[in-house]
A and B are shown apart, each in its own frame.
Chain A
Amino acid sequence: MPKTTFRLALAALGIGAALAWSPAGAQQPITIGAFLSVTGPAAFLGDPEQKTLEMYVDEINKKGGVLGRPLKLVSYDDAGDAEKARTFAKRLIEQDKVDLILGGTTTGTTMAVVPLVESAGVPFVSMAGAVVIIEPVKKWVFKTPHTDRMACERIFSDMRERKITKIGMISGAGGFDKSMRQECLNVAKQYSIEIVADESYGAQDNDMTAQLAKIRNVAGVQAVVNPGFGQGPAIVTKNFRQLGMTMPLYQSHGVASKQFIELAGAAAEGVRLPAAALLVAEVLPDSDKQKPVVLGYKKAYEARFKSEVSTFGGHAYDALFIAVDAIKRAGGADKAKVRDAIEATKGYIGTGGVVNMSAKDHMGLDASAFRMLEVKNGSWSIVK
């Protein structure tokens, strides 16, 4: 046995040496680590993210890489489990020795990894939603998606225009749902909106008529907001119509995909939600700065994977290109320099909006990145 082990080791050494001395070795790849929830309950987020990263790393390498160096993607599937995410992030840092980390499909997995990247000093761009990721600012942590607070603000400003002051809220039990519910409660006052009913449902629930009937019976409710993602919002929307409720219903950016309309069917008509430009790429006015970016990404993704583009894949697109852009400006993959370069990102036009980062803002988006959409005739339209 020891002999075989020794031989194996020798062989491995030989292969390793051959690789190191091959001409390609002269240009050491830049290693991008990723941990995403490709399977599990958040798979509908993680799957397009993974596909997007693979597609664009390939494309960048075909065009000669970054600064003449190829990109190497090391990606793990954490299945939405924060504990696994932590283990994989550790492996990325210690074993794979990656130059930077992208990922964290959910807020839960992201937050599990934050302490690791902070102590190891590795630039980290997250694709998860909640405000806690970047507030308070953490030196090495950035994120690409809009925050749930911005979504609340966008919804409330739309309500203010419609002279709505009393609303009911129904939200799920997931991390995203809870976080957004809290943010909505926090900012409601600023828009002089009063939340007079506040109901919730469980992650696996498939009937919310009881909760909605309760909201309906509260006097003075003028509209209902449903912070949530996954199956919940589609069922809420169906139940809402079943109960014959006619007041405006607002969903969150968490369900901003065609799938929501498919699932909720005719019940989705008239539902409003804040979402990124990507969703309405075709109907954006030509003057829109984001149009070429989102249309380009949408076409490339749909041609390659034969499935509908989602904003979640867009978050991965933005994470990758913000990182690549920063590596170019930093002139290499030095971790501290790349971190500084990401923080100095200005005027980057991505799928999520125009990104202007600073030492105080590690996301760099403002509420204008959200478009208010309404479902009309089974498709999205922009609310003017």
Chain B
Amino acid sequence: MLSQAVQFLFSGLTLGAIYALVALGFTLIFNASHVINFAQGEFVMIGGMTTVFLVGFGLPMPMAIALAVAAATGIGMALEKLAVEPARQASITTLIIITIGASIFLRGLAQLVWDKKLHALPPFTGDAPIGILGATILPQSLWAMGVGVLLLLALRWFFARTLLGQAMLATANNRMAAQLVGINVRRILLLSFALSAALGAAAGILIAPITLTAYDVGTNIGLKGFAAVMLGGLGSSAGAVLGGLLLGIAEAFGAGYVSSAYKDAFAFVIIMLVLLWMPRGLLGGAAAERV
């Protein structure tokens, strides 16, 4: 019985780590611009698919990963420059709709540039499962969780210790005031898109060996990431991580103990309940540190 629960926990944590990374991407852009970027899931897809194809061309894995993250970052910046910035006078709703349009566009583009098939990325370090407490975990899951934690720590450091990070925090807190003290908020906006695209791409690459990737994986994972954000509290980075992990674990335990048919429903019911009692999400309370 214990081994079964541990097994559910492992699969929940693996997916949860990925949801958390996607949710962090949402949070970064939201804080810098108050826009919910619905193209966030497409960064996940671009990361995974680019790596698959570069590896297919015979590139070594580390180089393929680096290039894929770079490509996604570039696309994220292009999205900001070409689609979001020209419309910066528009209302937030308009901007959100623009990102939905961008996500449809990117998905279509992926279909043309690559193909409509599913692809698997070889795992980073073999696929011999590791046994713990009677349950098994794939090395790739450890990669996903480990890199997820590293990225989170790196982000924390960036915001706490670097001037640029502080500038982003300032912009998140009060855009006007930030501008008045000489922060280039347009640059900050661009940076937020670049960072969250890179985070999304990293999530896509980490998960591709486990869950496969295709031109349309972004929709679902984007939605889950968004759900995690809502659960954790919009605008809070700790909330994004907590929301992502909780969502992943809820899904795994829901599928294991209740019924796999209602796996998605189970996660969304939890979100509904949380939002009913805590409309700002678990950690979205009074505006403290928002990143």
Contacts and interface: CB of A to CB of B under 8 A. Distances in A.
For B122, B131, B136, B259, which residue has the most chain A Cβ atoms within 10 angstroms? B136
Nearest to B5: A213
Nearest to B18: A206
Interface size class of B (residues with CB under 8 A): 35 or more
A211 interface: yes
A199 B262 CA distance: 12
Contacts of A199: 260
Interface in B107-128: 111, 116-120, 122, 127
A243 interface: yes
Nearest to A217: B4
A244 B135 CA distance: 9
Contacts of B220: 204
B256 A244 contact: no
Contacts of B122: 265
B11 A263 contact: no
A27 to B, nearest CB: 37
B117 A207 contact: no
Contacts of A204: 220, 264
B195 to A, nearest CB: 25
Given A204-B220, A210-B252, A210-B255, A231 B8 contact: no
B7 A243 contact: yes
B214 interface: yes
Given A243-B129, A266-B127, A207 B116 contact: no
Nearest to B4: A213
A182 to B, nearest CB: 15
A209 interface: yes
Interface stretch (A39-47, A98-106, A284-292): A39-47
Contacts of A231: 118, 212, 214
Interface string B1-23: 00010011011001100000000
A259 B116 contact: no
B256 A213 contact: yes
Given A201-B263, A206-B212, A207-B211, A214 B129 contact: no
Contacts of A213: 4, 7-8, 135, 256
B96 interface: no
A202 B261 contact: yes
A205 interface: yes
A259 B117 contact: yes
Given A173-B261, A263-B119, A234 B256 contact: no
Contacts of A238: 127, 210
Given A207-B210, A235-B212, A243-B7, A202 B264 contact: yes
Given A43-B116, A173-B261, A201-B263, A210 B11 contact: yes
Given A43-B116, A206-B210, 13 more contacts: A39-B111, A39-B116, A47-B116, A206-B211, A207-B252, A210-B255, A213-B4, A213-B7, A213-B8, A242-B137, A263-B120, A263-B212, A265-B122
Shortest beta-carbon contacts, A-B, top 3:
A206-B211, A210-B256, A210-B255
Interface of A: 39, 43-44, 47, 173, 199-202, 204-211, 213-214, 217, 230-231, 234-235, 238, 241-244, 259, 262-267
